[in-house]
Structure 1
Amino acid sequence: MYFSMLITPKFGDIDGLGHVNNTVMPGWFEQARNMIYRCFNPELNFSDWNLILARFEVDFVKQLYFNQEVEIRTYISHIGNSSLEVYQEAWQNDQRCTKGKTVLVHFDFKKQKSIPISPDIRAKLETYLHHSDQVMV
C-alpha cells in the first residue's frame, strides 16, 4: 500500500527542453510526504514539529513532461527505532520516471536529540511498509 498524490506540472516546472526540471522533484517528493508528516503531527503544526530530514537521494529514470499529470507514490521502506526510510516514485503515462529515498528522524528540538517512534505512530506507518523486494528500486 502507498500514499498517492497527483501533480499537474506548471509552466515554471519546465526547462528549456520541455522536461520537468530536475530541481523540481525534491519539492514534489517533499509535498507528497505530507501524509507521513501527519502520522507524527496531525495538524502539521510547526510549533510541535518533530521530524528532521537526514538524507535524500533522487534517481532520474525517464523524462517527465509538461501538460501531463504525474502521480507521486510514497511508501515506507524501513522503520527503525527513531528513524524511517521513505521510498517514492514519480509516474507519468504508466511509466516510472523518477525514484527516490528519504531518511526522516523523529526528533525533539528542545533536547536536540532523536527520540523513539511511539507504538501508535509505528502502527500507522506499518500500513504503508513495503520491503525492498516488494518496491521497485
Structure 2
Amino acid sequence: MFKQIITPGFYETDALGHINNTVIPMWFEKTREPLFKYFTPDLDPTKWRLILAGFDVQFLAEIKYGEPVEIHTGLQKVGNASFVVSQRAYQRQQRVAQGNTTLVQYDYQTKRSVPIDDNIRAQLMEHLLSDDE
C-alpha cells in the first residue's frame, strides 16, 4: 500500500469552508501516480498504457482546510487486463472519503485492452489489500 500526504489548498474549499467534493477524485488520481509508473515509468502521455474504466467515491465526513489528509492506495483486485484501485482518505485519523477506480491496460492504436505482463502484475500484487484493509 502507498501512503501519501496531501496538504489541502485554500482554493480547494467550497462556500462552507470544507474541501469541495470535486477535489477528492483529483487527489485520488494524483496519489495513483506510483501505480501509473509501473506502466509508464516517465509518465509521458505519448506512451500512456492505461485507460480509466470507472470510479466511485463515497464521502464519509467533512474534510477541512488547513489540516493534512493522508491517502492510502492499494489494490482490491488484479485481473487479466484490468485492476481495481482502492483508496481511502484520512484526516485526524478519521476516514473521511473512500473510493475505487478500475483501470485497464490499453493499446490506444488498436483501441483494445491488452493483458498485463507478468513483471507489472508482480509489482501490482505487492499492493493487494487484505480483506480487513
Superposition TM-score tier, normalisation by shorter sequence = over 0.9
- Partner of residue 31, structure 2: 32
**Distance in 1 (alpha carbons) for counterparts of 2:124 and 2:132:** 16
Q: Indicate the residue corresponding to 1:99 in structure 2.
A: 98
Q: What SS does the corresponding residue of 2:27 show, helix, strand or coil?
A: helix
Structure 2-normalised TM-score?
Answer: 0.98
The Cα offsets for residues 2-34 of structure 1, whole Å up to 9 and x where unpaired, read as: 111111111111111111110100100000000
Match for residue 49 of structure 1? 48
**1-structure distance, mates of 2:2, 2:129:** 12
CA distance in 2 between partners of 1:130 and 1:43 (Å) = 26
Q: How many residues in Structure 1 have an aligned counterpart in Structure 2?
A: 133
Q: Which letter maps to 1:46?
A: P
The answer for unaligned runs of 5 or more in structure 1 is none
Task: Output the aligned Cα RMSD.
Answer: 0.7
Q: How much identity, in percent, do the aligned residues show?
A: 42
Cα drift, residue 110 of structure 1: 0.8
Inter-partner Cα distance in structure 1 for 2:58 and 2:39: 27
Aligned residue in 2 for 1:134:
132
1:83-122 deviation digits (Å, cap 9, x = unpaired):
0000001100001000000000000001110000000000
Secondary structure of the 1:87 match is strand
- Report matched runs for 1:52-67 at 5 Å: 52-67=51-66
Q: Distance in 2 between matches of 1:45 and 1:130?
A: 28
Separation of aligned partners in 2, 1:93 and 1:58: 20
TM-score normalized by the length of structure 1:
0.95
SS of structure 1 residue aligned to 2:119:
helix
AA partner of residue 13 (structure 1)? E
Mark the runs of 5 or more structure 2 residues left unpaired by the alignment.
none
